[in-house]
Amino acid sequence: MTATSRTITIDTLDGKGRFDTYVAEPASTPRAAIVVIQEIFGVNAGIRSKCDRLAADGYLALAPDLFWQIAPGVELDPDVPGQMQRALDLMGQFDQDAGIRDIEATIRTARGMLAEGGKVGVVGYCLGGRLAFMTAARTDVDASVGYYGVGIDGLLGEAHAIAHPVLLHIPQEDHFVDKDAQARMHAGLDDHPKVTLFDYPGEDHGFATEFGQRRSDESANLADQRTASFFAAHLG
């Protein structure tokens, strides 16, 4: 048997809205659940592929459409210049606090789909990497991974609230996160008992995308192996 996928609808925490969520389910009982947090390009083929890979590894994977209030169902390609600009525009319109509430609603839904006591993690990329850090600080998520999260150096004041393990992948040549910001991240987080940071020399933003011009195979595979080991240790 192979993993299967479908789209479900989740109610917002306040009950005033609903958003679509891509779900990939393993062939057997899930080890745990992982919420996959989109980049600025929507729940596109790359994010769905991340979910499918997690399901093949035995996890229930859910990717909520966090842009549902501004561009529901949008799917953009970062390798197309006009679509990259639209993605940046959408990021500017996006209410990140509302996004965290939608992630929390997705975490609650995931817990309800697991056996009692089942654990839920999050993994996010780009904007999603930032949201993964915020989720770790603001929700009861069991483990969080962020790839090339943007602006995390501006969120260090929330680090004291992180109670469960966090893993961050930092490309050292990230054109959205300069060396000074990276240094602030290390200064603020290296001594945190729950946070682990890995640096990737020579790598740029988006190096672990599933496909496209941004991908850097060797570092992507290394980061994904580290993520898999992290989730195996903290989720099961």
- Residue 213 DSSP class: T
Q: Which 3 state secondary structure label does DSSP give 223?
A: helix
Catalytic hit among 174, 178, 199, 224? 174
Q: Would residue 234 show up in a list of annotated catalytic residues for this protein?
A: no
Percentages (nearest 5) of helix, strand, coil residues in the chain: 40, 20, 40
What number of other Cβ atoms are within 10 A of residue 229's Cβ?
11
Residue 12: name the closest of 95, 96, 101, 73 by CA: 101
- List the structure tokens of 74: 């949008």
Catalytic hit among 142, 153, 205, 234? 205
Q: Would residue 192 show up in a list of annotated catalytic residues for this protein?
A: no
- Residue positions annotated with a catalytic role: 174, 205
